[in-house]
Structure formats: C-alpha cells, structure tokens
C-alpha cells in the first residue's frame, strides 16, 4: 500500500490509531485530505459521483492505515504494554456496556413492564466474545 509504518507512531495516550511522526506522514495525510477536497470542488462532477468516490477514497484510506498498523514494528515490551492497555480499555468499555444494558432494562420495565435491550450493545458484546474466542483458539494452536 502507500503509507509506510515508519511515518507513523501508535497513538498511546489520546485514543486509538496512529499519528504522523515524520514529515512524510504529514504529507500523506495532507495529500489524502487535499485530493478529497479538490475533487468535491470540481464543478463538472455530479454530487452522486463525489459521494461514491468519497466513500471509496475513505475506504482506501482506512485499509491503508489498517495495513500500516499491522505492519508496524513493535518490540516485545511495546507489545506487552499495548496488550495491557487494550485489555484495560476493553474491561472499562465492557463494564459501561453492562451497566447500560441494566439501566435500559430497568427503565423499560418501569415504563412498559417488560425489559428491552439495545441490539447494538448486545451485538457489540457478542462480537467481542467471538473475537476473544477466535484469538484464543489461534494463540492456543500457534504456541
């Protein structure tokens, strides 16, 4: 792909993802945004074309950045730190989601007499469950 791992650093303290650490990284971000902006101002291009190309462009950017994140070289200490940080983040998010389910269920019981749940919250927890199982199966087989 286009972006190179050495242009970026892992975001550790403010969110997830990457941030540019070299001028090439900043140029990459600037070019990606500039091309989108320039295209949207071309008068001959229809709104639907702009929308379609924007979606494709954003998708390509996400795939390219994901590729960089996978290829980013991390040493063993960094991998351990990242694993602990992500695990702690997951536990906190999971706790909030469980509290949210309980709150929604209690509120719906008060209003309607029957519990209702936000399907997206259930889906998020279920997806996490699957990801965890797959990871453990992979790791158990790997070593």
Q: Which of 22, 89, 118, 117 is nearest to 9 (CA)?
A: 22
The least distance separating another protein from the CB of residue 73, rounded to whole angstroms, comes to 8
CA 65 to chain centre: 10
Site for another protein in 70-99 (CB under 8 A): 73, 75-78
Q: Which of residues 102-121 bind another protein (CB under 8 A)?
A: none
Decide whether 13 or 120 has the Cβ nearer to another protein.
Answer: 13
In 3D space, the residue among 113, 60, 18 whose CA is nearest the CA of residue 8 turns out to be 18
Q: Phi/psi of residue 141, each to 5°? A: -80, -30
Which residues contact residue 71 at a Cβ distance below 8 angstroms, ignoring those fewer than 6 apart?
A: 5
Q: How many residues bind another protein (CB under 8 A)?
A: 5
77 or 141, CB closer to another protein?
A: 77
Backbone angles phi, psi at 10, to 5 degrees: -70, 135
In angstroms, what is the minimal distance from the CB of 75 to another protein? Answer: 4
Question: Cβ of residue 34: shortest distance to another protein, in angstroms?
Answer: 32
By CB under 8 A, tell whether 140 contacts another protein: no
142 belongs to the binding site for another protein (CB under 8 A): no
13 binds another protein (CB under 8 A): no
How far is residue 57 from each of residues 4, 61, 82, measured CA to CA in Å? 18, 6, 29
- Residues in the site for another protein, rule: CB under 8 A? 73, 75-78
């Amino acid at each position: 792909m286009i972006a190179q791992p050495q242009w970026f650093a892992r975001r550790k303290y403010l969110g997830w993802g990457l941030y540019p650490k070299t001028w090439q990284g900043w140029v990459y971000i600037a070019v990606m945004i500039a091309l989108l902006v320039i295209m949207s101002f071309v008068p001959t291009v229809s709104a639907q074309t702009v929308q379609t190309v924007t979606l494709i462009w954003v998708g390509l950017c996400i795939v390219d950045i994901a590729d960089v994140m996978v290829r980013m070289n991390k040493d063993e200490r960094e991998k351990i730190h990242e694993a602990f940080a992500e695990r702690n983040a997951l536990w906190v998010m999971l706790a909030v989601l469980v509290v949210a389910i309980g709150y929604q269920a209690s509120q719906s019981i008060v209003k309607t007499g029957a519990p209702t749940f936000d399907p997206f919250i259930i889906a998020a927890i279920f997806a996490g469950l699957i990801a965890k199982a797959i990871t453990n199966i992979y790791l158990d087989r790997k070593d």
